[in-house]
Amino acid sequence: MALVCFPFKKEDVDVVMRNVKTAAQHPRVRMVLLVGASENETYVEIDARLPALGAQCDVPIVQMTQLRLGALREGKGDGMNTALLYFLRAHEYDELFGEPVVSEPLERIHFYDADIESFNSSWITKAEEAADMEYDVIRHYFPRSSTDAQITWQITKVGFSLLFPLSVLPWVQQPLGGELCLTRRCVDVLVSDERVMRQSDWGIDTLYTFVCAQAGMNMIEVYVPEGKLHALYGGLRDLFNMLIECFAALQGLQKCSIRAESVHRIASAEPVPNSVTSKIGYNIEKSLVLLSENWTPRQEELLHVLFPERVAAGLIACRDWPQYSFMDEATWVECYQVLLANFEFGDSDWHELIFKLWVSRVLNYTMRHVIRGYDTAMNELRHMVQDIQQKSAIELIKARREAQGCSPRVLASEQDKMRRVPSELSLFSDEYSSSFKTQAVPGIMNHAT
Ligand code: DGY
């Protein structure tokens, strides 16, 4: 039986209550857990409305505030990790959580953002049916606006493709997705991993995705055709913390090794509805001005010393007038590798710099590709990460062969064998991977129009 968790912050309480009711009335659900970031207005209002809702449902609905568990900014990670701990202990007395709420250990935990207007019971059913096939991780994926998901595409998918090209990670459709279902076995793996428990901020999704893959958990991605209708963003500044924390989480994983074996299935997608293709994900006008803000002499120096000169010149010129034509896909990959090697989490100049670089990248993508239509834009994003993955994979295979002392003239059949990842071999053993990962990968991509 399952627990459904809705982490929340400040939300439309009508939407939250409707989603809680949907979950509580699902036949597979044994309890619903609401984890609030704090005892704010939303929390108080939900508290007041829970007794009436509880009277209409047969399962316990529990609300709590998140525990302070991690070492980074108090955020989404603490909320999700609080839910994992609660899930493991809900059937027994526990010092942190008090009396048991269910009589048997719960088998699966589902997470759904509390503010999803399109949430319905099929989201739970799809995940439960997939879990019945013994997958450990069931992730929901759905169509998103071509101007939405720009941290997913430009940061996480680019990073996974560069750093772990032969693993399942580049293939994960929505690696930052907060809608997922995990088995008890998987939750045990996550809570016993210190890296997960310290990740109290937006980096938590990256950590869940990475650690599940690293532990060889079998994963399936189920498709939700109606998409996730939720409030979209104002200017890109709204995503500042998420950007920094998602990049820092990935940067922190760059020296980790990962094995290739784990099952990964992706349910097929369906035609994307007009409600998604016609949606604009962020306010372009408000975002242009961000390129001129919060400059310091040190940011300029970092640009001149570490980045290609055309990037330094292009970005610094934005102090007077917004520019973004310099930040095409290939240039972004070059910058990304500089960032992987040099970005300092906690340093405000680096935060501003990665933010402005990313804004220029998102604007470049928007003005070159999004204006040519939804399908064109999505194809460009897919090609960008596929090209990075392919180039990085080839470099990695070459480096591995060299590390194994193989002659370049190995027979074709030998080459084929080497393409498969031997089960005992870590893909990224440090001897050759750490230097490889921070080097520029030449010749990546040329999809400019
Ligand atoms: C992402 O990039 O996926 C974030 O949710 C922002 O859209």
What was the pLDDT predicted at 442? 44
- pLDDT of residue 430 exceeding 80, the answer is no
Q: Tell me the mean pLDDT in the region 95-113.
A: 95
Q: Tell me the mean pLDDT in the region 109-119.
A: 94
How sure is the predictor about 281, in pLDDT bands with cuts at 50, 70 and 90? confident
- Domain assignment present for 338: no
For ligand 1, is residue 147 a contact (CB within 6 Å)?
Answer: no
pLDDT > 70 in the chain, percent: 89
Instruction: Name the 3-class secondary structure at 98.
Output: strand
- C-beta neighbour count of 14 within 10 angstroms: 11
- Mean pLDDT over the full length of the chain: 90
Which strand (E) or helix (H) includes residue 221? Answer: strand 219-223
- pLDDT of residue 351 exceeding 60, the answer is yes
- Domain assignment present for 145: yes
- C-beta neighbour count of 149 within 10 angstroms: 17
How sure is the predictor about 318, in pLDDT bands with cuts at 50, 70 and 90? very high
User: What residue's CA is closest to ligand 1, atom 5?
Assistant: 149
- pLDDT of residue 446 exceeding 80, the answer is no
- Domain assignment present for 135: yes
* Distances in whole angstroms, Cα of residue 253 to Cα of each of 25, 173, 366: 40, 19, 29
CB 441 within 8 A of CB 435: no
What was the pLDDT predicted at 10? 95
Q: Which atom of ligand 1 is nearest to the CA of 176?
A: 3
- Domain assignment present for 373: no
Which tens digits make up the pLDDT trace of 16-36?
A: 999 999 999 999 999 999 999
Which tens digits make up the pLDDT trace of 155-195?
A: 999 999 999 999 999 999 999 999 999 999 999 999 999 99
Q: Give 152 Cα–ligand 1 centroid separation in angstroms.
A: 5
* Distances in whole angstroms, Cα of residue 288 to Cα of each of 68, 274, 307, 364: 37, 27, 22, 11
Q: Give 265 Cα–ligand 1 centroid separation in angstroms.
A: 22
Q: Give 425 Cα–ligand 1 centroid separation in angstroms.
A: 34
Q: Tell me the mean pLDDT in the region 49-68.
A: 97
What pTM was estimated for this model as a whole? 0.90
- pLDDT of residue 97 exceeding 90, the answer is yes
Task: Please give the single-letter amino acid code of residue 424.
Answer: E
User: What residue's CA is closest to ligand 1, atom 7?
Assistant: 149
For ligand 1, is residue 246 a contact (CB within 6 Å)?
Answer: no
For ligand 1, is residue 151 a contact (CB within 6 Å)?
Answer: yes
Q: Tell me the mean pLDDT in the region 55-66.
A: 96
For ligand 1, is residue 205 a contact (CB within 6 Å)?
Answer: no
- Domain assignment present for 361: no
Which tens digits make up the pLDDT trace of 72-93?
A: 999 999 999 999 999 999 999 9
Q: Give 149 Cα–ligand 1 centroid separation in angstroms.
A: 4
With the C-alpha atoms ordered 190, 194, 197, 198, is the resulting torsion angle positive or negative?
negative
- pLDDT of residue 432 exceeding 70, the answer is no
For ligand 1, is residue 150 a contact (CB within 6 Å)?
Answer: yes
Q: Give 363 Cα–ligand 1 centroid separation in angstroms.
A: 15
Q: Which residue has the higher pLDDT, 53 or 416?
A: 53
Q: Give 89 Cα–ligand 1 centroid separation in angstroms.
A: 31
User: What residue's CA is closest to ligand 1, atom 1?
Assistant: 149
For ligand 1, is residue 243 a contact (CB within 6 Å)?
Answer: no
- Domain assignment present for 186: yes
- Domain assignment present for 187: yes
What was the pLDDT predicted at 408? 53
Give long-range contacts, CB 8 A cutoff, 24+ apart: 332-335: 332/154, 332/158, 332/357, 332/361, 333/158, 333/162, 333/388, 333/440, 333/441, 333/444, 333/445, 334/307, 334/308, 334/440, 335/307, 335/308, 335/311, 335/361
User: What residue's CA is closest to ligand 1, atom 3?
Assistant: 149
What was the pLDDT predicted at 409? 54
How sure is the predictor about 441, in pLDDT bands with cuts at 50, 70 and 90? very low
Report how far residue 279's alpha carbon sits from residue 38's, in angstroms, rounded to the nearest whole number.
31
- pLDDT of residue 434 exceeding 50, the answer is no
* Distances in whole angstroms, Cα of residue 155 to Cα of each of 110, 159, 162, 296, 354: 25, 6, 10, 24, 11
How sure is the predictor about 245, in pLDDT bands with cuts at 50, 70 and 90? very high
- Domain assignment present for 292: no
For ligand 1, is residue 148 a contact (CB within 6 Å)?
Answer: yes
CB 66 within 8 A of CB 37: yes
Q: Give 243 Cα–ligand 1 centroid separation in angstroms.
A: 9
Q: Tell me the mean pLDDT in the region 213-217.
A: 95
Which tens digits make up the pLDDT trace of 407-416?
A: 555 544 554 4
How many structural domains compose the chain? 1
- pLDDT of residue 436 exceeding 70, the answer is no
Q: Give 354 Cα–ligand 1 centroid separation in angstroms.
A: 16
Residue 161: give the domain boundaries: 2-277
**CATH number, residue 166:** 3.90.550.10
What was the pLDDT predicted at 201? 98
- pLDDT of residue 132 exceeding 90, the answer is yes
